[in-house]
Chains A and B, each alone.
Chain A
């Protein structure tokens, strides 16, 4: 069974601070996706990383896919209250009959003004 562990599970920081969320697995994935979910809503896709070692930037968010495609990280610079939410990583194995996502355990981020 493929599992994705996220750390930390909870994070409460002040506006302006930096933070990093980790997503780790013993399994290799074809791609790794990051989502943000707000209360009462569905997950919203932030980014997809495909190549081992790939780095993608989305404004203040930097995503990295591990060289071995088993882990990923999300770094937020100068966090804002609007960044508050549940961050989920999800691994996917492309090319088979299904593209089901294996979701991580989630990181709940609260950014205090």
Chain B
């Protein structure tokens, strides 16, 4: 089955710095890679996703990159703000013909210091 490794487990940055969270996956058939943000005491929320036919996707201050050859994908947050502090989860799954069940990473706790 799929195995997703996520690093780092904790990331501490100063407000305004950039933050990068990296995930690797093992199943080359995985083709959908979402990222979730979970603030303290709240539900995880989908913030950005990327499919295997795209190498990069941006949405304002967040971006995701995908390297299919190396089987890794990354979340990039620029100009971090205190409200970016949360736990971030990556996931990998096979859509359309696959099981649809995502395999989640273990999460990265991002702390943005004002």
Binding partners A and B? no
Residue numbers of A with Cβ under 8 A of B are none
